[in-house]
Amino acid sequence: IRALIRYAGRRDACRAASRSEYFFRTEHSPRLTRDAVEKTFSRLKQQLGWTGHGRTRAPRIHDLRHTFVTRRLLRWYQDGADVDRKMLALSTYLGHAKVTDTYWYCTAVPELLASTAQRFERSARRASGCSS
User: Of 103, 106, 108, which is closest to residue 91 (Cα–Cα)?
Assistant: 103
Predicted TM-score (pTM) of the model is 0.66
Each residue's pLDDT, cut to its tens digit, for the chain (132 residues) gives: 899 999 888 888 876 556 778 888 887 788 888 999 999 999 999 999 888 777 678 888 888 888 898 889 889 988 989 988 899 999 999 999 998 888 877 666 788 788 778 878 888 888 887 765
What is d(CA 83, CA 122) in angstroms, rounded to the nearest whole number? 14
| Cβ atoms 73, 106 nearer than 8 A | yes
Question: Which residues, at least 6 apart from 58, have a Cβ–Cβ distance to it below 8 Å?
Answer: 45, 50, 51, 52
Q: Give the per-residue pLDDT at 107.
A: 64
